[in-house]
């Protein structure tokens, strides 16, 4: 009589724990299960521990990223960012990193600041720098792209854009 094994994978805050459940409890005690540390799944590199390793395409949310045969989107329309009056008077400059998802129709969605200019300026200039961050999100929302493709089909694609503010 053979036991039927059911594998259950549980996700706990970025840690994968594998549990083996035997359909026949009598055989469960007679067979040894491999420990989690020596399982073949655990020998694979962890994408969170090694950020240079690529994540699966698409990710858990169905969003694609560079690699694995995905053609990245191309910018076809952009708007130049403008300085707020406060930032111009205080001569604030810097780069704002904006994260977004390019939808299948080429529009930018899920736009948010990944790296703020306000983090690099003194506390007195923070308010003016935050205005530049808000302006960067507003500008990126107007961008248009040719959508990313995977095997000839348009797919949503996660990317970051650097918005540069310089005073000349």
Residue 75 CA to residue 106 CA, distance in Å, equals: 9
Look at residue 68 in the predicted model and tell me its pLDDT.
Answer: 87
Say how far residue 53 (Cα) sits from the centre of its chain. Answer: 13
pLDDT for 29 equals 37
Q: pLDDT digits over 88-115, tens only?
A: 999 999 999 999 999 999 999 999 999 9
Please, what is the average pLDDT of the chain? 76
Q: Where does the pLDDT of residue 168 fall: very low under 50, low under 70, confident under 90, or very high at 90 and above?
A: confident
Residue 133: closest CA among 102, 103, 95: 95
C-alpha angle with apex 42: 41 to 46, nearest 5 degrees? Answer: 105
Asked whether the beta carbons of 69 and 152 are under 8 A apart, the reply is no
Answer whether residue 144 shows pLDDT above 80.
Answer: yes
Does position 28 have pLDDT exceeding 70, yes or no? no
Give the integer Cα–Cα distance in Å for 35 and 161.
43
How far apart CA 18 and CA 157 sit, in angstroms, is: 31
Q: Which residue has the higher pLDDT, 16 or 119?
A: 119
Structure confidence by residue, pLDDT tens digits, 32-77: 444 444 444 444 444 444 555 555 688 889 999 998 899 999 999 9
Asked whether residue 20 carries a pLDDT value surpassing 70, the answer given is no
Confidence of residue 14 (pLDDT cuts 50, 70, 90): very low
Model confidence at 15: pLDDT above 90: no
DSSP 53: S
Instruction: Give dist(CA 145, CA 148) in Å, integer.
Output: 9
**pLDDT band at 9, cuts 50/70/90?**
very low
Query: Going from the N-terminus, what domains does the chain have, and what CATH number goes with each?
Result: 5-43 (no CATH), 70-165 (3.30.2420.10)
Q: What pLDDT does 80 receive?
A: 92
């Amino acid at each position: 009589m053979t036991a039927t094994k059911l594998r259950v994978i549980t996700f706990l805050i970025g840690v994968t724990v594998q549990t083996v459940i035997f359909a026949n409890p009598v055989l469960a005690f007679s067979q040894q299960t491999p420990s989690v540390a020596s399982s073949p799944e655990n020998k694979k590199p962890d994408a969170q521990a090694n950020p240079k390793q690529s994540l699966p395409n698409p990710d858990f949310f169905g969003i694609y990223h560079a690699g694995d045969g995905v053609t990245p989107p191309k910018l076809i329309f952009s708007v130049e960012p403008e300085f707020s009056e406060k930032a111009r008077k205080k001569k604030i400059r810097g780069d704002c990193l904006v994260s977004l998802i390019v939808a299948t129709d080429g529009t930018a969605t899920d736009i948010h600041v990944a790296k703020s200019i306000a983090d690099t300026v003194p506390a007195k200039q923070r308010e003016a720098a935050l205005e530049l961050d808000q302006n960067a999100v507003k500008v990126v929302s107007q961008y248009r792209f040719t959508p990313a493709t995977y095997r000839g089909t348009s797919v949503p694609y996660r990317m970051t854009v650097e918005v540069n503010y310089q005073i000349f």
